Amino acid sequence: WSSVLPVHTLRRAMRPREPPYPACMQFTTDDYEAFLAYARGLEVELCPEARKLIHGYYMASRRVRSDTAKLPASYIKLLISLAEAHAKLCLRSRVLEEDTVIAVLLCENSLTLKHGASALVIPPNAVFPCDLHDQDSLHRRDVTLQQVHQQILQFVFSYAPGATAYISEE
């Protein structure tokens, strides 16, 4: 994630008229179907940082939520499955922390709809905070996801004792 902003900025400076995400609007339905079929078949594994972030988030969430909103142990499997699905959509064989951020956001949005306010104090629709119609909106999304990643780390550090021993702060 730390390389996203510099790469985006460099691309914009070197090629101001060329979209930094040139393929974002050029796919047909058949292209999407082929893409999804290929992604489904990928085998993925969690990198240690992603696994630790999932467990840290789960531990912190269990500590701050009321009894009615407690997360069952199966919630870890859900987070892992969502992170793996995102990695597959990115055509990667390793699940990274950025995949975990998406999984956490999806789960927090779901919990917010069911129980009220987010334990992370994430605004509604933080996954897609803006209309994704051009390069600038994609850049804003990337910046927002970086900020949310930092919020998740702070949440884990604040509410999961011992988390700092196994998660490196960025």
Least confident of 63-77, 85-99, 128-142: 128-142
Give the HSE-up count for residue 12: Cα atoms under 13 Å, Cβ half-sphere.
Answer: 10
Q: How far is CA 72 from CA 79, 92, 113, 128, in A?
A: 12, 29, 17, 27
Higher-pLDDT residue of 114 and 1 is: 114
1 pLDDT band (50/70/90 cuts)?
A: very low
- Confidence at 15, pLDDT banded by 50, 70, 90: confident
Q: Higher model confidence: residue 80 or residue 167?
A: 80
Which pLDDT band, with edges at 50, 70 and 90, does 165 fall under? Answer: low
Average pLDDT estimate for 105-126: 75
What φ, ψ does residue 42 adopt, rounded to 5°?
A: -70, 140
- Local confidence band at 13 (pLDDT 50, 70, 90 cut-offs): confident
b or e along 74-101 (b: 16 or more beta carbons within 10 Å of the residue's beta carbon)? ebbebbbebbbbbbbebebeebbbbbbb
Q: How much of the chain, in percent, has pLDDT values that exceed 90?
A: 36
Query: Of the ranges 58-62, 99-103, 122-126, which one carries the lowest mean pLDDT score?
Result: 122-126
